[in-house]
């Protein structure tokens, strides 16, 4: 399968050439800055008449395909093409109602017969939450994040507890103790 033929670099203005040369001469340690320097060197090589493969080598890359894409972006966006683009795809964002459903399910005591557990683990909670409409593909990491945002933490005894709230056994029965500095410790 042949690759699509890419258009060449448009003629650089004096200001664009000066900026590209300045960026290409930059010596910095940051990884993202190094990416920008490599892009500038590739663009300058292509502007001086080199092909995409030679431009890739000038910028420290192996393939000319990415340089062709960079040239295309430069023709459309100008110097903004040097900056790193945001990654593709979208994060699944759950609404406040869906988050509330997860917390409601968590606060429900599990039934040993139906849920197969006496206490919630992330996996058993995930199985139960996925039965809710609109939450069929929710991950364990997302459930964990929702629980942490609600102030819940995973304890050594393999249970989830409210942060800063503990239940202590005494000779007078169980007592709920609330840490007065709880909000300060959360952040």
Tens digit of pLDDT for each residue in 166-176? 778 888 888 88
Which candidate, 36, 56, 47, 60, places its Cα nearest to that of 8? Answer: 47
Q: What is the pLDDT of residue 157?
A: 61
Q: How many whole angstroms separate alpha carbon 60 and alpha carbon 33?
A: 13
Say if residue 1's pLDDT is above 50.
no
| Domain, as residue range, for 126 | 96-186
Share of the chain above pLDDT 70, in %: 85
Q: Is residue 88 part of a domain?
A: no
Task: Give 126's Cβ-side CA count (13 Å radius).
Answer: 12
Residues in the chain: 187
| Mean pLDDT of the region 40-55 | 90
Q: Which residue, 82, 117, 134, sits at the end of a domain?
A: 82
Q: What is the pLDDT of residue 30?
A: 61
Residues 100 and 180 reside in one and the same domain: yes
What DSSP character marks residue 30?
A: -
Pairing assessment for the beta strands 160-162 and 152-154 based on DSSP bridges: antiparallel
Q: Which residue, 28, 54, 82, sits at the end of a domain?
A: 82
Q: What is the pLDDT of residue 90?
A: 63
Q: Which residue, 34, 60, 82, sits at the end of a domain?
A: 82
């Amino acid at each position: 399968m042949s690759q699509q033929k890419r258009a060449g670099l448009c003629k650089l203005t004096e200001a664009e050439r000066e900026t590209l040369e300045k960026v290409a001469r930059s010596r910095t340690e940051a990884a993202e800055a190094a990416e920008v320097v490599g892009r500038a060197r590739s663009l300058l090589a292509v502007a001086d008449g080199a092909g995409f493969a030679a431009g890739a080598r000038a910028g420290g890359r192996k393939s000319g395909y990415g340089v062709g894409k960079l040239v295309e972006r430069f023709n459309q966006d100008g110097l903004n093409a040097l900056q790193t683009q945001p990654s593709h795809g979208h994060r699944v964002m759950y609404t406040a109602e869906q988050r509330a459903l997860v917390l409601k399910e968590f606060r429900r005591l599990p039934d040993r017969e139906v849920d197969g557990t006496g206490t919630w683990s992330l996996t058993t909670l995930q199985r139960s939450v996925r039965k809710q409409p609109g939450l069929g593909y929710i991950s364990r990491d997302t459930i964990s994040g929702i629980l942490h945002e609600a102030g819940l933490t995973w304890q050594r005894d393999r249970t989830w507890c409210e942060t800063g709230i503990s239940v202590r056994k005494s000779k007078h029965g169980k007592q709920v103790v609330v840490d007065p500095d709880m909000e300060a410790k959360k952040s």
